[in-house]
């Protein structure tokens, strides 16, 4: 499993932002996305899955994603948002920003 994106998740908890981040495996098939958000220990390559996700791209180009935690007591939830990309001197920069109003999830990668 290739960790081909970086991710972050920020959650509003009683007026304070709690943030976590890691690397993600993201695959695209037609208008669908799937993968997992992981913690990756760079020293030994150990991967711990934080959450799995599936998503689809709507006709207007926006993305709707379902996040499923690895913890049984945490319910799945939906976020939606958009895909952005731009060509830079360092290559193609791609970003996905999703929210449900209290949680913000971002994915980013740079391709040379």
CATH number at residue 66: 2.40.128
Condensed to tens digits (0 to 9), the pLDDT of residues 91-102 reads 899 999 999 999
Q: Which residues contact 16 (CB under 8 A, 6 or more apart)?
A: none
Of all residues in the chain, what percent are helix, strand and coil, respectively (each to 5)?
Answer: 0, 75, 25
* pTM, rounded to two decimals: 0.89
Q: Which residues form the domain of 40?
A: 5-111
What pLDDT is stored for residue 44 in this prediction?
83
**Looking at the 3D structure of the chain, how many domains does it have?**
1
């Amino acid at each position: 499993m290739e960790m081909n994106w970086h991710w972050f998740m920020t959650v509003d908890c009683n007026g304070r932002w709690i943030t976590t981040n890691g690397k993600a495996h993201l695959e695209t098939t037609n208008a669908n996305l799937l993968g997992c958000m992981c913690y990756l220990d760079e020293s030994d390559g150990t991967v711990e899955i934080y959450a799995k996700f599936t998503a689809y791209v709507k006709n207007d180009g926006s993305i709707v994603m379902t996040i499923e935690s690895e913890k049984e007591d945490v319910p799945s939830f939906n976020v939606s948002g958009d895909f952005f990309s731009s060509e830079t001197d360092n290559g193609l920069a791609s970003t996905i920003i999703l929210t449900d109003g209290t949680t913000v999830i971002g994915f980013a990668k740079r391709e040379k």
